[in-house]
Amino acid sequence: MSLARTERMLYAGCRLASICSGLIVLFIGFFLFKESLPLLLKINPMRFLNDPGWHPTEGQFGLFPMFAGSLLITVGAMIVAAPLGIILAVFCRFFAPRKIANAYQALLSVLSGIPSVVFGLWGLVVLAPIIRHVQPPGVSLLAGVLVLAVMILPTIALSANAAMTSVPFEYLQGAAALGFSKWQRVWGVAIPAARPGIVTGMILGAGRAIGETMVVLMVCGNVVQVPDSVFDPVRTLTANIALEMSYALSDHRAALFVSGLMLLFVVMGFVAISESIRAKVIEK
């Protein structure tokens, strides 16, 4: 009797917690939508992508450069960080002596705990001047990509490592018994078997990159433009909100909420992509 009661309470508690966390997401979405609604009703929503410029006080709401900036920085950071992170994880899991692997993991955990403003500072005073030597102005898409890559590297490496650690020893032993070389055991069996976990880590990293505000404010230059090269300054959706929120009124303010809404959609897109990749893995 009392067992059933504990179980019921546990069940109710779990249900309450999951309802709460689900509701929070819904409320945020609802709030963003509500605040941007006046403007969405006033103008054609396509204008947020098509307007030639971002002059919100003069009725021009072109968010496309910011949208492109966010996407380019995230994709760029992924292109740099994902292979590095996976290689790092493979090294730790399969090739490094135990002590070195543990030290590496501790280092990565520390790296993932460093506040983004510190990364931003480093990017601003160390990396940007180096890039300026190659091609001014230094604060640029490239600077953002590189700093963000360093920032999300631990997320990707640690989840890839966890995914590979959970690959059953039987798979590796079975592969060895079939005469697989060590490299082929890793590349042919362990990495494919760990793919769902690796993909999850990459999506977490991408989510962190696209949501990052402080770093991009500090190192990307914040010029509203679709960049012609990696050396051009860009502004992201997050930076756009942070820069203008304090003085934005009425339509301008609503347009910033549209920026937030756009971010939400991009993140939803990432999740959808990762889910479809994982579903494919399971289907196989």
Q: How far is the CB of 168 from other proteins (least distance, A)?
A: 8
Residue entry with tokens 């098509």: 50
Q: Which is nearer to other proteins, 60 or 276 (CB)?
A: 276
CA 162 to chain centre: 19
Q: How far is the CB of 192 from other proteins (least distance, A)?
A: 7
Q: Which is nearer to other proteins, 58 or 283 (CB)?
A: 283
Residue entry with tokens 């307007």: 51
Q: Which is nearer to other proteins, 112 or 184 (CB)?
A: 184
Strand 60-61 and strand 54-55: pairing? antiparallel
Surface-to-core class of residue 30, CB atoms within 10 Å of its CB (0-12 exposed, 13-18 middle, 19+ buried): exposed
CA 167 to chain centre: 25
Chain positions contacting other proteins, by CB under 8 A: 168, 170-181, 184, 188-189, 192-193, 282-284
Q: How far is the CB of 155 from other proteins (least distance, A)?
A: 24
What contacts 24+ positions apart, CB below 8 Å, involve 126-130? Answer: 127/219, 128/219
Q: How far is the CB of 183 from other proteins (least distance, A)?
A: 10
Q: Which is nearer to other proteins, 58 or 170 (CB)?
A: 170
